[in-house]
Amino acid sequence: MSQSDTCNPLGYQPTASSSLPLAPTRCSPASKRMGWEEDAGVAAVTPKVVRALRSPLTPLPQTENRTTHNKNGIYQFEQASKCKAIQDNILSSSIKKKRYSEDYYLHIVTKLRNCTWVRKPEESTKFRSELASCCDAVHNFIASQNNSPLGSNMSYEVDSKKTILITEDIFKMLPVSSPLSVYPFKNCAVVGNGGILKNSSCGAEIDSSDFVFRCNLPPTTGNISKDVGNKTNLVTVNPSIIAQKYNKLNEKKTEFLENIAVYGDAFLLLPAFSFRSNTATSFKVYHTLKEFKAAQRAIFFHPTYLKSLAQFWRTKGVKAYRLSSGFMITSAALELCENVKLYGFWPFSKSTEKMPISHHYYDNQLPKPGFHAMPKEYNQILQLHGKGILKLQFGKCESD
């Protein structure tokens, strides 16, 4: 459980029960240690008080406990009002075309993390329904024989004017139905690769999730596992990694298989039908896994799902050449899981305390400028966090 689950960020503590002078009582020292002296502070036990307590029409004497309760209620109301104002601010900034600075977002995050997060099932159900009506991750997230008929022409996600014929060979590569259709998973972790994960101690919490999504074959072994965990059920694979690091698997197959062994029997999710240039490399991953009887299994994004998802977020102000893989996975998880928690989502170069943070927890390689709309995506994630639809882990996790 994270710190924001349980702690009051502003450190509010109730005041002592009473500071009024107490009349002599017959309480023993032991009873005082158990707190019973607080009751004695209501009034001295005199005949007058007994008569007052017996009379149903006489109001009970006022106590400082009631004052404390009222102060607590006022405090909670003020905090709720402040948090609502923060959420409204996030919403208004997502609508405007203005480009906000990194410091602006860090200021918002600093305020938002002081708000106690509460899951709101009604909001979650409403948003899941909205996503399902547009995109339907349950049936369309993964290309399958059910949604990609033999002999049909499939349009690419980005190269949309180009198509690929679903031949018998391609058809056989697809699962009959989505392997994730056994939803809903109870608790899901979507693990981004942000540098904020370093020294977070989030590994154990991530590994306790029922289903763990990761992006772009990140490292999970060694000392870093205490921060990022080991468990992986699905990991996305950018074909550029296969091309650059493994020479498109024309060689270095053994090195590739050794490196992905850390993911156990996870699904390797590839964008085979996003760009035509991705297809051959993605298929090569599939055939390599099959040839060497690897524990992992290659599956492919369905391009229609990704196009529908991009349109869905475009209506909410996220207009980019292409959504980031982390944002795609988060969107799918919101349909496939009852509870979603995000780790390592931090598109900023510094922390809220102004300390430098690397772009990834394993390197500082920046994405192509203009390729993803990171600030706009993060704005939407902050809104979902504020509405209680998902939870965003901002900093360190509690360690046992």
* Structure confidence by residue, pLDDT tens digits, 285-297: 999 999 999 999 9
Q: 309 φ, ψ to 5°?
A: -65, -40
Per-residue model confidence (pLDDT) at position 1: 46
Instruction: Give the pLDDT band (50/70/90) at residue 140.
Output: very high
Determine which of 230-234, 320-324, 331-335, 388-392 has the lowest per-residue pLDDT on average. Answer: 320-324
pLDDT at 86: 74
Position 257 scores a pLDDT of 98
- Alpha helices by DSSP H, listed for 96-207, are 102-112, 121-134, 137-140, 168-173, 203-207
Q: Which residues contact 14 (CB under 8 A, 6 or more apart)?
A: 68, 72
Q: What is the CA radius of gyration of the chain?
A: 27
- Mean residue pLDDT of the chain comes to 82
Worst-scoring range by mean pLDDT, 181-190, 194-203, 323-332?
A: 181-190
Query: Scanning the structure block, which residue is given the tokens 């008929």?
Result: 149
Q: Domain map of the chain by residue range?
A: 110-392
Residues recognised as catalytic: 372
Q: Amino acid letter at 298?
A: A
Q: Yes or no: say if 372 and 341 are a contact pair by the CB < 8 Å rule.
A: no
Q: Kindly state the helix (H) or strand (E) to which residue 155 belongs, with its residue range.
A: strand 153-155
CB under 8 Å to 334, separation ≥6 — which residues?
124, 127, 128, 131, 340, 384, 389, 390
Of the two residues 32 and 341, the one the predictor is more confident about is 341
Does residue 16 surpass a pLDDT of 50?
Answer: no
**pLDDT for residue 400:** 53
How do residues 68-119 score in pLDDT, each as one tens digit? 556 566 655 566 677 877 776 676 665 565 667 888 889 999 999 889 999 9
Of the candidate CATH numbers 3.90.1480.20, 2.130.10.10, 3.40.920.10, 3.20.20.80, the domain formed by 110-392 belongs to: 3.90.1480.20
DSSP character for 269? E
Within 234-392, strands assigned E span 234-236, 267-270, 297-300, 337-343, 391-392
- Tens digit of pLDDT for each residue in 216-243? 999 999 999 999 999 999 999 999 999 9
- Please report, in angstroms and rounded to a whole number, the separation of the first and last CA atoms in the chain: 9
- Which candidate, 103, 118, 121, 108, places its Cα nearest to that of 82? 108
- How far is residue 382's CA from residue 386's CA, in Å, rounded to a whole number? 6
Length of the chain: 400
Residue 304 has pLDDT above 60, yes or no: yes
